[in-house]
C-alpha cells in the first residue's frame, strides 16, 4: 500500500473518530476571514474545504466536517433520484450552504449573507459540538470561563452519557 493511501486512510480515521471539543474565539481579519484551530483541522483530516450552513434552530452557523457531511449525504443518495420530498430537502439544504476553502493557514471566508445570519461582525466564538463546530457571536453565548453545571447535566442526560 502506498504512503499516500495510508495517510489518506489515517486522515479519514481521524475525521471519523475525533471529537471536536473546546472553545476558541477568533477575530475576523480585514477580509472577514478567521482561522480554524490546527487541532480541529487535524481531527477533521486537514480538509481543503468544509461545509457551512445556518443552524436550523439557533442564530449561529454550523461548520460540518467533510466526513460527517458525506456520511449523511450517502443516506440521501440511497433515495430515488427523482423523489420529490428528498429533492426539496436537498435543495433547501444546498441553497443555504457553502463550501468555503481553507487556505494554508487554516483560514476560511464565509459569505456576508451567512455572517449576517449569525451576527458575526468582529469575532467568532467557535464552540466544539463533538461532530461539528458551532460558530456564534461571542455575546450570544456564555463567557468562556463559566461552566453551567445544570446545562452540562442536561446535555449529558440527553446525549445518553
Domain spans of the chain, in order of start: 3-142
Joined grid coordinates for residue 55:
443552524
Q: How many residues does the chain have?
A: 161
CA 48 to CA 43: how far, in whole Å? 13
- Give the CA-trace dihedral at 125, 126, 129, 131, to 10 degrees: 160
Confidence of residue 68 (pLDDT cuts 50, 70, 90): very high
Looking at the DSSP assignment, which residues form a beta bridge with residue 61? 54, 135
pLDDT at 17: 54
CA 91 to CA 41: how far, in whole Å? 28
The string over 80-103, giving b where at least 16 C-beta atoms fall within 10 Å of a residue's C-beta and e elsewhere, is eeeeeeeeeeeeebeeeebebebe
Cβ distance 118 to 135 under 8 Å? yes
Cβ-proximal residues to 79 (8 Å cutoff; 6+ apart), any chain: 86
Work out the average pLDDT over 111-132: 96
Work out the average pLDDT over 10-33: 77
Q: Is the pLDDT of residue 15 over 70?
A: no
Cβ-proximal residues to 90 (8 Å cutoff; 6+ apart), any chain: 76
Work out the average pLDDT over 122-135: 96
Joined grid coordinates for residue 81:
433520484
Give me the architecture of the 3-142 domain, per CATH: 3-Layer(aba) Sandwich (3.40)
Amino acid at each position: 500500500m502506498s504512503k499516500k493511501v495510508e495517510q489518506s486512510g489515517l486522515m479519514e480515521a481521524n475525521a471519523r473518530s475525533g471529537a471536536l471539543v473546546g472553545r476558541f474565539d477568533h477575530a475576523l481579519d480585514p477580509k472577514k476571514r478567521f482561522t480554524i484551530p490546527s487541532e480541529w483541522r487535524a481531527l477533521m483530516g486537514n480538509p481543503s474545504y468544509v461545509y457551512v450552513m445556518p443552524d436550523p434552530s439557533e442564530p449561529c452557523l454550523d461548520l460540518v466536517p467533510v466526513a460527517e457531511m458525506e456520511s449523511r449525504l450517502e443516506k440521501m443518495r440511497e433515495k430515488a433520484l427523482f423523489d420529490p420530498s428528498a429533492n426539496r430537502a436537498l435543495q433547501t439544504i444546498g441553497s443555504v450552504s457553502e463550501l468555503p476553502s481553507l487556505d494554508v493557514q487554516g483560514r476560511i471566508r464565509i459569505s456576508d449573507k451567512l455572517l449576517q445570519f449569525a451576527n458575526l461582525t468582529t469575532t467568532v466564538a467557535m464552540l466544539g459540538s463533538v461532530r461539528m463546530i458551532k460558530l456564534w457571536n461571542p455575546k450570544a453565548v456564555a463567557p468562556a470561563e463559566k461552566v453551567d453545571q445544570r446545562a452540562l447535566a442536561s446535555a449529558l442526560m440527553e446525549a445518553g452519557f
